[in-house]
Copies of this chain bind each other. A is one copy, B any other.
Amino acid sequence: MKIAILPGDGIGPEIVAQAVKVLNALDEQFELETAPVGGAGYEAAGHPLPEATLALAKAADAVLFGAVGDWKYDTLDRPLRPEQAILGLRKNLGLFANLRPAILYPELAGASTLKPEVVSGLDILIIRELTGDIYFGQPRGVRECPDGPFKGQREGFDTMRYAEGEIRRIAHVAFQAAQKRGKRLTSVDKANVLETFQFWKDIVTDVHKEYPDVALDHMYVDNAAMQLVRAPKKFDVIVTGNMFGDILSDAAAMLTGSIGMLPSASLDANNKGLYEPSHGSAPDIAGKGIANPLATILSAAMMLRYSLGKAEQADRIEAAVKAVLAQGLRTPDIFEQGTTKVGTDQMGDAVVATLA
């Protein structure tokens, strides 16, 4: 089985290197092939998603992705900026289902800015549609304003849209995920204002008929943002569109206080996927050897489970991560008095040692 390794920018290479160590320490052997992406892709081939990188990602059985972005690319034209690579990969590989668990490890309860009783034991799964919505809708651009009080001025515009089949397939993913967990699904919309999301709500309600064992409720996105702060443990699985999911999944991740721990999976219709940590490229700490590699290592575990059919290997990695936390090892982002501060490499080595 072939895995495309796309380290990217900032701390990407350092943290991906740890996940590669872990993969190499498993009994199974995988063919790993590395390619540049993001700013690194631009440096190497003049484009954030070089053709050869996209070809590799398409040919592979799964993609392990680090992170992209650096301030030094901020002045490039938008199509050349690092984050276009991730949008391009999602669209070209058809990765419509983004799974983002927000889990608070008991050992890290203190890291949250929320009170322990509000977040301890938090375990929610946010499922974000990833290839539709206003992210890709056409037409878009800057034009002359066609009507209203600002007629004739320049205006920026974008199109939000969701087709029936697009909503159905992400709803199926969400109901099936809920079946394997607490059997409760919250669909987040803005049906009181947006036609797109009244339609979304209607279709999700229809798909629900096929999953009578799952309890479905609907929540407006503004209320969902409030409830995530007020009582996040009340959620089990949340499903929403690309734009709302972008905002809510980051808010949910931050509730844990340890975004350096959170993996993510982006899947196509056949469970081929791209796996990446939920955090960004953190250029401010790149190269210092202090980044937390655990989100990337846990992303590799998700990859083994969802795309490569190796659930036992995934279990082993997840158990090893829990064990190193129990041993008291902490990178600086999750360090607390009474624990042992370690660097990126040491943390990767500790997971490998625990696996053995």
Contact = CB atoms under 8 A, between A and B. Distances in A.
A205 interface: no
Interface stretch (A17-25, A175-183, A196-204, A291-299): A196-204
Nearest to A135: B193
Nearest to A250: B222
B251 A251 contact: yes
Interface stretch (A30-38, A156-164, A282-290, A347-355): A156-164
B160 A158 contact: yes
A326 interface: no
A156 B192 contact: no
Interface string A242-259: 011011101101110101
A114 interface: yes
Interface in A238-283: 243-244, 246-248, 250-251, 253-255, 257, 259
A216 interface: no
Contacts of A196: 140, 156-158
B247 A225 contact: yes
A213 interface: no
A310 interface: no
Given A140-B195, A226-B250, A250-B226, A161 B157 contact: yes
A315 interface: no
Nearest to A232: B113
A87 B195 CA distance: 15
A83 interface: yes
Report how many copies the assembly holds.
2
A230 B115 CA distance: 12
A215 interface: no
Interface centre among A81, A226, A253, A259 (most CB of B within 10 A): A226
Contacts of A114: 113-115, 229
Interface string A83-99: 10001000000000000
A156 B198 contact: yes
Contacts of A222: 246-247, 250
B87 A193 contact: yes
Interface centre among A155, A166, A228, A248 (most CB of B within 10 A): A155
A339 interface: no
A156 B200 contact: yes
A141 B150 CA distance: 23
Contacts of A166: 150, 155
Contacts of A338: none
A158 B226 contact: no
Contacts of A158: 159-161, 194-196
Given A114-B114, A153-B165, A157-B162, 19 more contacts: A81-B192, A83-B193, A87-B193, A114-B115, A115-B115, A135-B193, A137-B157, A138-B147, A145-B163, A149-B165, A153-B164, A155-B163, A155-B199, A156-B198, A157-B159, A159-B159, A226-B250, A247-B247, A251-B251
Interface of A: 78, 81, 83, 87, 113-115, 118, 134-135, 137-138, 140-142, 145, 147-150, 153-166, 190, 192-200, 221-223, 225-226, 228-231, 243-244, 246-248, 250-251, 253-255, 257, 259
15 contacts: A78-B192, A113-B229, A113-B231, A114-B115, A141-B195, A145-B161, A153-B163, A155-B199, A156-B196, A156-B198, A157-B195, A190-B246, A221-B247, A226-B251, A251-B251
